[in-house]
Amino acid sequence: MTKALILDFGGVVTRTLFETHDVTERALGLAPGTLTWKGPFDPSTDPLWQRMQNREITERDYWMERTRETGRLIGEDWTDMKTFVQRARGAEPDLVLRPEARETILAAKAAGMKLAILSNELDLFYGVDFRKRFPLIDLFDVIVDATYTGILKPDPRAYEQAVRDVGVDKTDCVFVDDQKKNIEGADAVGLPNVHFDVTRPAESYAEARAMLGLQKPETFHA
């Protein structure tokens, strides 16, 4: 029986921009400590994040505001998220890959499982060049990106397309996402899932591996 691991990209496969403020500050020539918003790592520092979590604004709205304000810090007018990502850390894709993601992706591939990405904004935020240079991207069988489909999670059609494209029965898939609304969308269509906690990535990936029946990643080698 073939199984499939379906991953959100930003925050799940990659480290969040909240976790790499030091990298961003160095890349942009900003003084250490300039960037203070910490999203889920400290919501009290980030009223805009709280508004997104309350669904007053979308995830895209949140990141566009952070993009504009970060650009202004260096006297530039940034109008798209990929400018932020590429200027902040796009030159080093390896730098942002979560080690837990790498281990689990390799373990799933070694076990003969299908791999898919289901993202609302992979190329919109990261850009085509970043994706092409991202470690392990060639291991994925399917990439469903709303940059092109126009169908955003938690729309049921997004999950249905990912399951259909990966060619595995829904009950044999595990979907991983860090946004509660996207997990609720997966629940609504009966797609097994893990609500990824970006502050506890090891535990979240361990839960996904257990649901898939994967061995511990220590038993696999790149």
Distance CA 40, CA 6 (A): 22
pLDDT at 91: 65
Helix pair angle (59-73, 81-89), 10° resolution: 50
Distance CA 207, CA 203 (A): 6
Distance CA 219, CA 200 (A): 21
pTM, two decimal places: 0.88
26: helix, strand or coil: helix
Question: Which class would CATH give 4-15+95-219?
Answer: alpha beta
pLDDT at 150: 96
Tell which residue, 12, 16, 52, 53, has the closest CA to residue 177. 12
Kindly state the DSSP code that residue 155 receives in the 8-state scheme: S
pLDDT at 219: 42
Distance CA 157, CA 52 (A): 22
Tell which residue, 95, 74, 70, 87, has the closest CA to residue 15. 95
Cβ density class 132-144: b for 16+ within 10 Å, e for less: eebebbeebebbb
Distance CA 95, CA 189 (A): 35
Angle at the Cα of 15 (from 141 to 27), degrees rounded to 5?
115
pLDDT at 197: 97
Distance CA 79, CA 16 (A): 20
Kindly state the DSSP code that residue 123 receives in the 8-state scheme: I
pLDDT at 34: 98
Residues of the chain scoring pLDDT < 50 = 218-222
